[in-house]
Amino acid sequence: MRKKLFIGICLLQLITVLFIFTKHEYVKKTGTRYKLEVTVYDPYDIFRGNYVRLDLTQNFVKTSSDDSLQDQNNYSKNGKYIKNRKNAKVYLVLSDEMPSKIIDITEKKPKKDYIKGNLWNPYGKEEGYYFRTDLKRYYGTPKRSLEAEKKLRENKKAYINIYVSGDTVIIDSLEIGKEVF
């Protein structure tokens, strides 16, 4: 009985590790590739390891009139903000052009490819919203992370290549100038 339990636990661990790797490869093979512009810096953090911090350069999007947050939520009488909506879960719709942009924001799951995000500041302009995403870190070797930071000091634009398949988003690579990290 103990031998079967031990074998079962070992198989469960192996299956879990294989699932993680195969899901990543499946999304890369079946998903759609998008390229988003980012600002990058390399913070020093001994607990998180070597990574590059990412921030999308686009953090505001105007909403469309048919399927947007403006049509779905409770606005104040002046239409300037959504009550109690800060950090609300939203879908950010991606454009098909390269480099891609976020073209709409909605609470309903869109038919086009999207990434998940949160409303950042629901106050202010009534024609659009500020948002945040979970695309925050790109892990690499210490040498490559430092090389990326040096390239960025030369005022080159940076992009991340992501693959999107359903709800799953994978950061594939970081591009600075013509160099891929």
d(CA 99, CA 135): 16
Q: What is the pLDDT of residue 120?
A: 76
- Percent helix, strand and coil across the chain, each to the nearest 5: 25, 40, 40
Q: Which pLDDT belongs to residue 122?
A: 58
Peptide bond connecting 110 to the previous residue in cis, omega within 30 degrees of 0: no
What are the tens digits of pLDDT across the range 140-151?
777 877 777 778
- Would you place residue 12 in the very low, low, confident or very high pLDDT band (cuts 50, 70, 90)? very high
14 pLDDT more than 90: yes
pLDDT higher than 80, residue 174 = yes
The pTM for the full model equals 0.75
Average pLDDT, the chain: 78
Residue 8 has pLDDT above 90, yes or no: yes
Q: What is the pLDDT of residue 64?
A: 60
Write down the residue that tokens 């999107």 correspond to.
164
pLDDT of residue 90: 83
Per residue in 61-109, pLDDT tens?
A: 777 644 445 444 444 333 434 444 667 788 888 998 888 998 888 878 8
- Greater pLDDT, 9 or 158: 9
**Which residues does residue 129 pair with via DSSP β-bridges, in sequence order?**
61
- 15-29 pLDDT, tens digit each: 999 988 898 889 999
Residues 6+ apart with CB under 8 A from 108: 67, 72, 91
Query: To 10 degrees, the CA torsion angle through 161, 91, 167, 31?
Result: -40
How high is the pLDDT of residue 144?
A: 79
pLDDT at 139: 77
